[in-house]
Amino acid sequence: MYFWISLPFLWLSFFCPSGPSGPPQPSDGPGGADYVHDGVRFSDQAGTAEGYWLFEPESPSPDSAPVVVFLHGYGAINPMIYGGWVSHIVRQGNIVIYPRYQQNLLAPGSEAFAGNAAKGILDALAELGEGSHVRPQQGPLVLVGHSYGGAIAANLGVRFPELGIPQPRGLLLCAPGTGPLKGGRLDSYEDMPADTRLLIMVSVDDQVVGDELGRLIFETAVHTPHRNLLRQFPDEHGEPAVTAGHNECYALDARFDADIHNLSYYRALRIAKNDALDYYGYWKLLDALLSCVRSDEYCDTAFGDTPAQRSLGQWSDGEPVKGLEVLLPAEDTTVR
């Protein structure tokens, strides 16, 4: 009986080997694991739609740190859904403000999202100036947003004077879109300032919002020369395969579970994974954008259709993961 059970597994082992594995997180550089801090302090001021969660570096705890605002996708309110990425940002030495901006899947209406996010940012900055918090540095503000959060980030990148928040100097928009809703969406982004550095990343198999808003922002932010539109493709060369859907930037971390268990939460539990798109895509691009905005370093990793920007690493057999396609402002960007 022992051999009848074991032999099929031996046959599978010898004749059906698994494919090459994806690239691990790099040890250093943009997207890398050379962390300055060992811990993350997580605090909750998110009781209302205008509220927020705070993530501060600790172990060691610095006196001050620069600020990144993270804007979740529609319904993906629970910070756990993006917790792996948020932890990476914080352990690199940043404070993360995570505005709630919506109470639940039904309320408030989408026209309130941008204002709620702005209120959350302002209140969070005020909170950080008190008590035992890590103090926010006055340097350039950078926003990252996924899905509806990408639409809100682009809105704030234009309407910041009206909403009273500091000017966002860097924007990373991940699969930006609003679906059938229109709140927070602008007809044009031509009023985005020239000194904004803008990255927009879309995935070719996104069946939720597609690339329509991403292209609109890229094509109408005509006074913003530092802007790139990046397209990401699937790659089935290894296991697990790299997919190119709407929620590729999900990165779970149960330590940051805010006990908001809606449909978006359960979808994230089912589909989230950390792979090349995290380490060499979203995480790398944001790290490089932060350095570029703050100190003009790693700009050739964030922008310019360079090998460093396009690369998503290598499978374990040395085959490159299918890289990003980059559209630059000088190219023909007519909507077709």
Domain membership flag for residue 149 = yes
Does the CA dihedral 177-180-181-186 come out positive or negative?
positive
The answer as to whether 68 is a domain residue is yes
Band of pLDDT at residue 331, cut at 50, 70 and 90: low
Asked, for residue 5, whether it belongs to a domain, the answer is no
42: its two tokens: 């997580």
Burial of 9: CB neighbours in 10 Å, binned 0-12, 13-18, 19+ = exposed
Look up residue 320 and give its two tokens.
Answer: 């490159």
In a domain, 332, yes or no: no
Range of the domain at 53: 17-327
* SS3 assignment, position 58: strand
The pLDDT score that the predictor gives to residue 71 is 99
**Strand, coil or helix: what is 51?**
coil
What is the distance of C-alpha 268 from the center of its chain? 14
Strand partners, 197: 170
Which residues are CB-neighbours of 195 under 8 A, at least 6 positions away?
169
Mention every residue, 6+ apart, whose C-beta is less than 8 A from residue 8.
Answer: none
Is the pLDDT at 14 greater than 90? The verdict is no
The domain tally of the chain equals 1
Q: 93 in a domain, yes or no?
A: yes
Residue 265 pLDDT level (bands cut at 50, 70, 90): very high
Q: Give the C-alpha separation, 75 to 71, whole Å.
A: 11
Amino acid residing at 47: G
Region of residue 129 (left: phi > 0; alpha: psi -120 to 50; beta: else): alpha
Lowest mean pLDDT among 129-138, 144-153, 220-229, 327-336: 327-336
CA atoms within 13 A on the CB side of 85: 33
What is the identity of the amino acid at 257?
Answer: D
Residue 333 has pLDDT above 80, yes or no: no
Residue 39 lies in a domain: yes
**Partners of 232 in the β-ladder:** 203
Residue 4 domain-assigned? no
Closest CA to 182 of 112, 77, 100: 112
pLDDT score, position 131:
95
How much of the chain, in percent, has pLDDT values that exceed 70?
93
Query: What is d(CA 275, CA 22) in angstroms, rounded to the nearest whole number?
Result: 7
Whole-structure pTM value: 0.93
Q: Indicate which CATH number applies to the domain containing 123.
A: 3.40.50.1820
Question: Does residue 92 form part of some domain?
Answer: yes
Q: Are 204 and 173 in contact (CB under 8 A)?
A: no
